Amino acid sequence: MSPTVGLIVNPVAGRDIRRLTGGASVSSNYAKRRTATCVLEGLTMANNTDVLVMPDSAGLADRIVDDAPDDLEVDLLDMTVTASGEDARNAAERFSDEADAVVVLGGDGTNRDVAHGIGDVPVVSISTGTNNVVPTSVDGTIAGTATGLIATGGISADETTIRHGTVEAIVDDGTGERRIRGLATLGILDQQFVGTRAILDPEDVIGGVVSRASPNEIGLSGIAGGRTVHRPDDRGGIGFRVGEPSDPAQEVYAVTVPGVLSKVPVEEYRVLDDGEAFEFDVSTGVISADGERELEVRDAAVQLRPVSDGPRLVQIDAVVERAVDAGLFRVP
């Protein structure tokens, strides 16, 4: 049986309101299709590899299949399309059993949806969203080449993947517990409604917990990164609480949305062990996950905690370097 690569392309990634209010770039469906075509071209280096593409309501997957290289077997994954984040979650669950590696074209939200169901299948994440922390910008051809090397076992996935952390929220409003997962960040916002979903004003942020932190990241992980660096595969995470601008315990510089450099007052900051809770009492607010507003809460006790059980992300540079050392780029 041939190795199988799953391809998940989110047609709505990279098209939210932050393009009108900040410096985020646009990712059109044409650009996504071209990137996906490059991924397929890179996969041709791995012989006898089959590809299954997640279908979508925009017809993007159909075009990707039609444009596929002749010497690559590419088909649509047989699944029902809902035109929501449920599609990526359902595709990921299928690929957890049917794929040897998965390529994801999307932003942090898409990768969070994939993380819910992908299990231990190695994931190559290519950025086509907004305000991205988890996926990276990489040429699709190189990403496809690395994916093929992992899927066929030419390069060991154990030596070239990291286990990304996650963050979990437990909300108790007196009527029972609700839970929500983030991949890189969970935040508490001083907002009443989910609204446009995108976080636009850093002054709305009450605090949060992140599974990774660095000053070169955008959003909540960038705020925490103003105090320390926490790598994606480090256990635990960082919890912080924003203070009053008039009397801050400390201020940090952070790129809170694309094109906006902010000074953020940090009232409390703590390095958290795996599973350690950082608590908020919220009278009215919204929980954000990976840069998007997700859940409205009222009169609730909210616990945010890092959980080190996220997806296995392929480190493309490590794959390529090992392939060079093994002579896999030499034409016979």
Q: pLDDT tens for residues 99-115?
A: 999 999 999 999 999 99
Tokens 């840069």 correspond to what residue?
A: 291
H or E element at residue 105: strand 101-106
pLDDT, average across residues 248-269 = 91
Q: Label residue 197 by pLDDT band (50, 70, 90).
A: low
The per-residue pLDDT for 287 is 96
Q: Which residues pair with residue 292 across a beta bridge?
A: 198, 289
Whether 68 contacts 74, CB under 8 Å: yes
Measure the CA–CA gap between 207 and 225, rounded to whole angstroms. Answer: 13
Residue 23 has pLDDT above 70, yes or no: no
To the nearest whole percent, how much of the chain has pLDDT over 70? Answer: 94
Dihedral angle sign, alpha carbons of residues 20, 23, 24, 27: positive
Measure the CA–CA gap between 113 and 328, rounded to whole angstroms. Answer: 33
The per-residue pLDDT for 18 is 46
Coil/strand/helix, residue 176: coil
Q: Label residue 202 by pLDDT band (50, 70, 90).
A: confident
Q: Label residue 249 by pLDDT band (50, 70, 90).
A: confident
pLDDT, average across residues 152-161 = 97
Whether 127 contacts 107, CB under 8 Å: yes
**Which domains, ranges and CATH numbers included, belong to the chain?**
4-163+311-325 (3.40.50.10330), 166-307 (2.60.200)
